[in-house]
Amino acid sequence: MKLSQLMTLIVYGAVASATLTPTVRLVEFGAISWPFALLMAAVAIPLVFSLITFPLVRTGPLKDWLVRSLLLTSVSVILGAASYSLVWAATGPPALNVWANSAMRVEFVWAVIVVLAVPFAHLFGLVVPRWCPRCQVPALLPDSAGGTDSMSKQQRGYWCPSCDGRFRRVQGSWRAIPSKPSPSRCVCHGLDPGRGEQ
């Protein structure tokens, strides 16, 4: 493991500790219960991680996938807690019903589920990898270099970390996207990537 990667892990750990500390203090003061504190931590920590990932992780498909996975984690926790409160809280442990002793109404919980269902479905479709047409490994991830999220699914590019292939789905079939030479490869051949070959 490189020193920069180790420092990145230390930063993530420090941010998680800083995010969790206020929640623990609220439990000690009796303001909230431990189940609700754990729920808050499960939502807040991935959300904060997704924010600090932008300056800490190198730009690329894996960074985009990591940010989306962290956001999906926070959304999934909220949807799970809301669904539990509506369906199973009446027969389950009262401590797990985060809205049992609050002023929230059932209509508000339903609104939370409806509003978050859309980003959940969108993020889930971007996080779950597809099967690579070249190496037949479920590792195909959306690649912003081959197309942006604002494009349609037919125009969006995908990258496979297993075989380093880039593809685009055109009329129901996968088409390979020509890979551009990286700047480091150009420098190794004596070329200036900013000026090109003279």
Residue range 78-124, pLDDT digits in tens: 998 888 877 766 555 555 555 554 556 677 778 888 999 999 999 99
- Reported as a single tens digit per residue, the pLDDT across 35-44 is 888 888 999 9
What angle separates helix 34-56 from helix 61-87, to the nearest 10 degrees? Answer: 160
Mean pLDDT of 57-62: 84
As a whole-number percent, the residues of the chain with pLDDT over 90 amount to 19
| Torsion angle (degrees, nearest 10) of CA 157, 160, 164, 168 | -30
pTM: 0.73
Number of residues written out for the chain: 198
Q: What's the confidence (pLDDT) of residue 104?
A: 60
Cα separation, 136 vs 171, whole angstroms? 20
pLDDT given for residue 130 in this prediction: 87
Burial of 98 (0-12, 13-18, 19+ CB in 10 A): buried
Look at residue 31 and give its three-state secondary structure: coil
